[in-house]
Amino acid sequence: MRTVVVVPTYNEADGIVALLDRVLRLAADVDVLVVDDSSPDGTAAVVGAHPDHGGRVQLLVRPGRQGLGPAYRAGFAWALDAGYDAVVQMDADLSHPPERLPALLAALEHADVAIGSRYVRGGGVRDWPLTRRAISRAGNLFVRMVLGTTVNDTTSGFKAFRRGALLRVMSARSESNGYCFQIETLWRADRIGLHVTEVPITFTDRTLGESKMSATIVGEAMLRVLTWRWRELLEPTVFGTPEDRHRVGA
């Protein structure tokens, strides 16, 4: 499959070259699109100076910091317009191991969406303090209980979509701007009946740059999850009839 990895960036100049080099080296048939929100640290200039820029490395610069969700929506639209068969999303800080890209893409042979999962057998987290681990576990449990999904790692930002699956997920108007965009895409995929599978990964905490996570972002995610569930209870056919929701369209 013709594949592109979409990487949103904001102030990731220190580590973006290492990510690009590892992805290009490990997956010879995969391109990379960097979606930069006009980072003041010059991330876009670093990407533009990469030897593969204009070839396997593409750059989309947006006017100012608008959030993770809008960055991914812009990147996904670009990838679909460019005719890619598979689209991968991953972080710029090497917390998602590029070495697992082949396994993620292989999973798309029998699934519509593949998730790089920390919380299935063989997966894990490295260099996280106990408090961060506890918050992540509790957050995933909260999402599973409220939305009723069986996916273990509901907040993973390392996902691969078949083209048809992404078209269906993005056809519904996405609402999230921040971290909960990860949960929203999974929720929409689950509700429209797409086949979602989890591939084990080891998540490593960033060593360069600053984390974008905050209490505000976590609070937004929890509120949106409750809102989505309440909307479903009020309007059970918001995603179509039960027959529609169990039809795979990828």
User: Quick one: average pLDDT of 11-15?
Assistant: 94
- Above 50 in pLDDT, residue 157? yes
If phi over 0 gives left and psi between -120 and 50 gives alpha, with beta otherwise, what is residue 170?
A: alpha
What confidence score (pLDDT) does residue 34 get? Answer: 98
Q: How far apart are CA 110 and CA 102, in angstroms?
A: 14
pTM of the model: 0.88
Residue recorded with tokens 């070259």: 17
State the pLDDT confidence band at 132, using cuts at 50, 70 and 90.
confident
Q: How far apart are CA 193 and CA 70, in angstroms?
A: 24
Mean pLDDT of the chain: 88
Q: How far apart are CA 231 and CA 233, in angstroms?
A: 5
More confident residue, 18 or 244: 18
User: Quick one: average pLDDT of 228-232?
Assistant: 84
Query: 57-78: per-residue pLDDT in tens?
Result: 999 999 988 889 999 999 999 9
Please name the residues in contact with 1: beta carbons below 8 A apart, sequence gap of 6 or more.
84, 85, 86, 105, 108, 162
- Above 60 in pLDDT, residue 240? no
More confident residue, 206 or 91: 91
User: Quick one: average pLDDT of 190-218?
Assistant: 78
Residues 2, 116, 178, 152: what is their CA dihedral angle, to the nearest 10 degrees? 140
Q: How many residues in total does the chain contain?
A: 250
What confidence score (pLDDT) does residue 216 get? Answer: 64
Query: How crowded is the C-beta side of 85, counted as CA atoms within 13 Å?
Result: 8
What confidence score (pLDDT) does residue 243 get? Answer: 47
Chain mean position to CA 220: 17
- What's the Rg (C-alpha) of the chain? 17
Q: How far apart are CA 145 and CA 113, in angstroms?
A: 21
What confidence score (pLDDT) does residue 143 get? Answer: 92
Strands 159-162 and 86-89: antiparallel
Are residues 156 and 182 in contact, defined by beta-carbon separation less than 8 angstroms? yes
User: Quick one: average pLDDT of 208-237?
Assistant: 72
Q: Which fold has domain 3-245?
A: Spore Coat Polysaccharide Biosynthesis Protein SpsA; Chain A (3.90.550)
HEC profile of the chain: CCEEEEEEECCCCCCHHHHHHHHHHHCCCEEEEEEECCCCCCHHHHHHCCCCECCCEEEEECCCCCCHHHHHHHHHHHHHHCCCCEEEECCCCCCCCHHHHHHHHHHCCCCCEEEEECCCCCCEEECCCHHHHHHHHHHHHHHHHHHCCCCCCCCCCCEEEEHHHHHHHHHCCCCCCCCCHHHHHHHHHHHCCCCEEEEECEEECCCCCCCCCCHHHHHHHHHHHHHHHHHHHHCCCCCCCHHHHCCCCC
Residue recorded with tokens 């191991």: 97
User: Quick one: average pLDDT of 90-109?
Assistant: 95
